[in-house]
Chain A
Amino acid sequence: MIIYGVALLSVSLIFGMLIGEALGVMLGVDANVGGVGIAMLFLVFASNSASFKTLTEGAAGEGIKFWSAMYIPIVVAMAARQNVAAAADGGMLALVAGIAAVLVSFALVPVISRLGSNNGEAAPEKEVS
């Protein structure tokens, strides 16, 4: 049943969000701390575990794969509802601050990635960019 997979996905997100919200309250910040990330972990555990097979295999799995495939269209819609006009109106300060932050962060990606791969073995499996 397709709905089993969709339901598993929904339950993962709801629990993740609840925990993220609770973490935010505990830490005293007005934000959801990692709710989506925690939800993703739930789904990863479920799809790697044998006891959730009915919810992740066959038609049920298709229910999750459908939403995974809808991801790019949803991101396109998300791009179309960004407040681009305000970003463009923010003036030089906003522009310079945003650009500088991105450039420095980009430059740090290879540096910190190297920390992760034990003794510098990078895994350069070539992907199309």
Chain B
Amino acid sequence: MELIESVFIRNNLIVAFAVVGITIWVSYLAADKLTNGRIHGSAIAIALGLVAAYFGGVATGGTRGVADIALLGGVGLMGGGMMRDFAIVATAFGVQLGELKKAGLAGVISIFAGVVVSFVVGAAVAILFGYTDPAAITTIGAGAVTYIVGPVTGEAIGASDAVITLSVAAGLVKSILVMIGTPIMAGAIGLNNPQSAMVFGGLMGTTSGVAAGLAATDPKLVPYGAMTATFYTGVGCLLGPSVLYFLVSALV
């Protein structure tokens, strides 16, 4: 047992490749046999990943899902920011410049609209739940933008730790919901071409959510959505502790 453990831990990235490979194989099999291909295999694999992350987090009390289990530590590296960004950039290989130009303006509008709309919704929910302190309302609104914008804003304007944690949780709910909901909603919102994918990325903004959601919908759309989504968090961090906080302070 100790022998297996030490081999697994020393080769943790390789273990992650094998585990993820098996997960995807099982998911595609299930998609094919159980749903007749109606649900995309990658959507099932991502959902399995999230379920595993939940149990990993509950079992270890850590913050990195499955990656806090020693034997599966390599999942943390494989699914970490560095590999994610590397693979996202690789998906841009073969993208046509023309498609980008066509969606340029709408893409930019979507980023600002996405940040402001998510913020307003989050802030409104905070008010509904009885918050009156502008810093708390702003931080929770920023959390609804993404789980990075929430704490960045909260720390900048001096919100309490509890509120910052709430804002992270709101952002996580958003990110996970986008992962799961995108393939389901894709037909209804016309998400089937590069332009709408860029608008989608700009509106949702959560890079992980957009990346996974589009991968489960149609992998060809990933580079377009990811391109706009990566600007979103930056714009959110820019507006959250400044313009949006001033607006909330003026209104409350």
B169 at the interface (CB under 8 A from A): yes
Task: Give the distance in Å from the alpha carbon of A93 to the alpha carbon of B88 in the complex.
Answer: 32
B83 contacts the other chain (CB 8 A): yes
Query: By DSSP majority rule, is chain B's interface helix, strand, loop, or mixed?
Result: helix
Within 8 A of A (CB), among B219-237: 219-223, 226-231, 233-235, 237
Establish whether residues A76 and B230, one from each chain, have CB atoms under 8 Å apart when the complex forms. no
Q: How far is the CA of A99 from the CA of B217 in the complex (A)?
A: 20
Q: Which residue of B lies closest to A24 (CB)?
A: B234
Which listed residue, B85, B107, B189, touches A13 by the CB 8 Å rule? B85
Answer whether A34 and B231 are a contact pair too, CB < 8 Å, given A68-B90, A109-B200: yes
- Complex formed: what's the CA distance from A12 to B207 in Å? 19
* Cβ B203 vs Cβ A112 within 8 A: yes
Q: Does A88 reach chain B (CB closer than 8 Å)?
A: yes
Contact of A129 with B217 at beta-carbon distance under 8 Å, contacts A77-B16, A82-B176 already known: yes
Residues of A within 8 A of B64 (CB): 81, 83
Shortest CB–CB separation between residue A100 and chain B, in angstroms?
Answer: 5
Verify if B42 is at the interface (C-beta below 8 Å from A). yes
Residue of B89, B171, B187, B231 contacting most chain A CB atoms (<10 Å): B89
Chain A 85-123 near chain B by CB (<8 Å), digits 1 or 0: 111111111111111111011111110110111000011
A105 touches B114 (CB 8 A): yes
Partner of B113 from the list A56, A81, A112 (CB cut-off 8 Å) is A112
Given contacts A37-B231, A72-B24, A84-B53, contact A124 B190 (CB under 8 A): yes
Residues on A with beta carbons closer than 8 Å to the beta carbon of B42: 72, 75-76
Interface centre among A23, A24, A98, A127 (most CB of B within 10 A): A98
User: A93 to B166, Cβ gap below 8 A?
Assistant: yes
Q: How far is the CA of A75 from the CA of B125 in the complex (A)?
A: 30
B153-191 vs A, Cβ < 8 Å mask (1 yes, 0 no):
000100000000110111111111111010101110111
A95 to B126, CA, bound (A): 11
Instruction: For A81, give its contact among B80, B156, B176 (CB under 8 Å).
Output: B80
One of B1-9, B95-103, B244-252 contacting the partner: B95-103
The contact of A68 among B87, B110, B118, B175, by CB within 8 Å, is B87
> Can you list 16 contacts pairing A with B, beta carbon distance less than 8 Å?
A27-B234, A43-B90, A71-B219, A77-B16, A77-B20, A77-B83, A81-B80, A86-B57, A93-B170, A102-B177, A108-B114, A109-B200, A126-B192, A127-B193, A129-B186, A129-B217
Residues of A within 8 A of B (CB): 9-10, 12-13, 16-17, 20, 23-24, 27, 29-37, 39-41, 43-45, 47-48, 56, 61, 64-68, 70-102, 104-110, 112-113, 115-117, 122-129
Which 8 A/B pairs are nearest by Cβ-Cβ distance?
A: A90-B169, A98-B173, A116-B106, A85-B57, A77-B79, A33-B234, A79-B49, A87-B172
